[in-house]
Amino acid sequence: MNIFQAIILAIIEGLTEFLPVSSTGHMIIGSSIMGIQSDEFVKLFIVAIQLGAILSVIVLYFKRFFQSLNFYFKLFVAFVPAVIFGLLLSKKIDQLLESPLGVAIALLIGGIILLFVDKWFKNPTVDNTDDINYGTALKIGLFQCISMIPGTSRSAATIVGGMSQKLSRKAAAEFSFFLAVPTMFGATVKKLYDFYKDGYHITAPEIKLLAIGNLVAFIIAMMAIRYFITFLQTRGFRIFGWYRIAVGCIILALLLSGHSLSVI
């Protein structure tokens, strides 16, 4: 992987991580088009540049992260299900990651759901994340576990989970952003641990790629989050549903045309 490819993947990460469109599906298409061969560092890179993306959440919502301890307790309650299910199902998840077809199907199903989610969850009663109770936080955390199926989208799962608990679009999206911080940080730490445990080491050129990737992901994610919140409040999820269906169809078309795709 060269610098240009690293920048493109970081742009994809920044654009798609917080939108309900599945960053995994876009990574499949992007890496296939650029001819990136999957190896241990590429797999690490894809996870590690999430640090840049989550830093954008902390910067944009800086005051929120230093407001009260209850905020962290709620995030912890929502984060716990992902830890438990992640440890219990890690091998199964790794198997699912080998199936681009599964990703395409998850994109299509999720897209169909997003076409109707605005109609299903009308009349929200919670418009501020401060009003989320511990029970609601836990339920959203359980919804996040659905995103362990590649192609589902962590953002989509948690936002739909939040809306099912009477959160407004804005409140559901913001809590999804907040929950991404411990979830993605934990995934990055685990990936780094596994990388070194398996005897691999990061070279100086690879450190440069990681630094560039995180910087680009940070900048792009900042813009994506701001645009997403504004868009949601006025337009809803329908366009994201159609977009997911289109991406799923692209992956299916690539597979049917004989392209060898891999979830990196």
Q: What is the 3 state secondary structure string of 115-175?
A: HHHHHHCCCCCECCHHHCCHHHHHHHHHHHHHCCCCCCCHHHHHHHHHHHCCECHHHHHHH
Q: Residue 245: is its pLDDT beyond 90?
A: yes
Specify the pLDDT at position 4: 94
Q: For the chain, what is the domain count?
A: 1
Cα–Cα distance for residue pair 231/246, rounded to 1 Å: 20
Cα–Cα distance for residue pair 76/186, rounded to 1 Å: 12
Specify the pLDDT at position 141: 95
Structure tokens at 27: 């990574």
At 236 the three-state DSSP class reads: coil
The per-residue DSSP string of 208-235 comes to HHHHHHHHHHHHHHHHHHHHHHHHHHHH
Bigger pLDDT: 2 or 96? 2
Query: Token match 């411990």: residue?
Result: 182
HSE-CB at 178 with a 13 A cutoff on CA atoms is: 28
Cα–Cα distance for residue pair 151/103, rounded to 1 Å: 4
Q: Which of 184, 181, 162, 182 is nearest to 171 (CA)?
A: 162
In a domain, 59, yes or no: yes
In a domain, 263, yes or no: no
Q: Could you tell me what percent of the chain has a pLDDT over 90?
A: 46
In a domain, 108, yes or no: yes
Per-residue model confidence as pLDDT tens digits over 189-243: 888 888 888 888 889 999 999 999 999 999 999 999 988 888 887 888 999 999 9
In a domain, 220, yes or no: yes
Structure tokens at 15: 């654009």
In a domain, 264, yes or no: no
Query: Token match 């392209």: residue?
Result: 259
For the chain, give the number of residues. Answer: 264
Contact 137, 129 (CB under 8 A): no
Bigger pLDDT: 39 or 202? 202
pTM for the model stands at 0.87
- Residue 264 pLDDT class (50, 70, 90 cuts): low
One-letter amino acid for residue 220 of the chain:
I
In a domain, 262, yes or no: no
Per-residue model confidence as pLDDT tens digits over 16-27: 988 898 887 787
Contact 129, 173 (CB under 8 A): no
Per-residue model confidence as pLDDT tens digits over 86-127: 878 766 766 666 678 888 899 999 999 999 998 999 888 988
- Over the chain, what is the mean pLDDT? 88
HSE-CB at 191 with a 13 A cutoff on CA atoms is: 21
Domain span at 60: 3-256
**Neighbour tally for 32: CB within 10 Å:** 18
Specify the pLDDT at position 5: 93
Q: Could you tell me what percent of the chain has a pLDDT over 70?
A: 95
